[in-house]
Amino acid sequence: MKSFYGFIRKEFLHIFRDPRTLLILFGMPIAQIMIFGYVVTNEIRDIPIAILDQSKDQATREIGNKLISSGYFNLVMNLTSLDEVEPAMKRGNVKEVIVFEPDFRKKLESGIPGSVQIIADASDPNTANLIVNYTFGIMQDYMKQYQQGKPNIITPEVRMIYNEGLKGVYMFVPGTMALILMLISAMMTSISISREKELGTMEVLMVSPIKPFQIVVGKVVPYIVLSFINAVVIILLGFFVFGLPVKGSLILLLLESLLFISLALSLGILISTVSNSQMVAMFISLLGLMLPTILLSGFIYPIENMPLVLQLISNLMPPKWFIIVIKNIMIKGEGWQYIWKETLIMIGMTAFFLLVAIRKFKIRLE
């Protein structure tokens, strides 16, 4: 047991003496949260637009003002003819042009629908979609006001529950947490084990009386501790910087995080059994874990929109289940009864990876 403590102390020495490791361990989580929080966001703000108003009446002016005062749009140009539309778009500083037809208000008053053309720059399709939807929403809002008192229109009352403000943090904090825990736990353990192989110290450890499982556990314990600290830091950052509450049980959330950390660590051990150098371990971790985590876990792209094959594959991605679990706990405030299935899947995956890793570890010894 004493030799085991010595082993863990040695691991901590490695970690604290390597500035790069420290940077990855503690710099990356904070940097990523900040980047995802401030840069990668689906919310739109101050989109440059132009208006071609061929009617110039009260209605078109009111709609224009409504758009600009919403804060989503910024009027950068008033156009005078349709010929100016394309050049304005091509110069790239206008993302959307709104064209009102002549006699817009007159038509409205006489009961004929007035038409508005919305031209959006779809070189970035997602943003174009968003912009158009926002514009459309504002215009409908105006129509409601205009038609006040007149019957026969449907007024849907929309309420976005669980995330009333449609804030992006609600999506990216759970995703980033999964990404970081996955990366740190799996990549760092696989690198630290394969480093011993690369340096030749693994041979010496193997020849010594210390047992293989003690080596593995000794390697893993420091990263469990540090990853757990990271999980707490991310939750705190989400709360204090981005105002993301933890509606459900904090203890449950931390326990689930611990489970996911173990899952990632067992993957890390597995990776280290197939790689003999730190480089290989890092590449496998980055390509094999980071990309699927970002692309297939539902972190950024909704799983429901994927082709069936990818949807099936996404079931194999451990972060997918973790993201579902933490979203349920943090945002919906649900308890154990809603996440036990996902939890069981993660426990199953952990057990599976550990078994395979231990088998592989033993085979290598032979």
Partner 1 sequence: MHAKHIVVRGLTKKFGDFTAIDQLNFDVFSGEIFGFLGANGAGKTTAIKILCGLSYPSSGEVNVAGFDVYTQTEQLKMNIGYMSQKFSLYEDMTIYENIRFYGGIYGLGRKELHAKSEQLIRKFGLVNERNSLIADIPQGWKQKIAFSIAILHDPKIIFLDEPTGGVDPITRRQFWELIYEVSGNGITVFVTTHYMDEAEYCHRVSIMDEGKIVAIDTPNNLKSSFGAANMDEVFVKIARGAEK
Chain contacts with partner 1 (rule: CB under 8 A): 2-3, 5-7, 9-10, 13-14, 17-18, 199-201, 203-210, 365-366
Closer to partner 1 by CB, 115 or 208: give it: 208
- Closer of 90 and 211 to partner 1 (Cβ): 211
Q: Which residue lies nearer to partner 1 by CB, 204 or 344?
A: 204
Pick the closer one to partner 1 by CB: 168 or 212.
212
Residues in a beta bridge with 47: 73
Q: Tell me the closest approach of the beta carbon of residue 276 to partner 1, in angstroms.
A: 12
Contact 21, 181 (CB under 8 A): no
> How far is residue 353's CA from residue 358's CA, in Å, rounded to a whole number?
9
Q: How far is the CB of 349 from partner 1 (least distance, A)?
A: 31
- Closest separation in Å from C-beta 9 to partner 1: 8
Nearer to partner 1, 46 or 203 (CB): 203
Of residues 217 and 241, the one with the C-beta less far from partner 1: 217
| Cα-trace Rg, the chain | 27
CB 281 to partner 1: min, Å: 18
Q: Residue 90: count other Cβ atoms within 10 Å of its Cβ.
A: 10
Q: Which DSSP helix (H) or strand (E) runs through 77?
A: strand 73-79
d(CA 119, CA 304): 29
Nearest of 162, 121, 156 to residue 137 by alpha carbon: 156
Min. distance of Cβ 228 from partner 1 in angstroms?
24
Q: Is 179 exposed, middle or buried (0-12, 13-18, 19+ CB in 10 A)?
A: buried
Count each helix (H run) and each strand (E run) in the chain, helices first.
Answer: 17, 4
Which of 294, 172, 284 shows the shortest CA–CA distance to 238? 172
Decide: 196 and 202 in contact? Cβ < 8 Å: yes
Least separation in angstroms between residue 355's CB and partner 1 is 22
Nearer CB in complex with partner 1: 3/58: 3
303 neighbors 205 (Cβ within 8 angstroms): no
- Least distance CB 364 / partner 1 (angstroms): 10
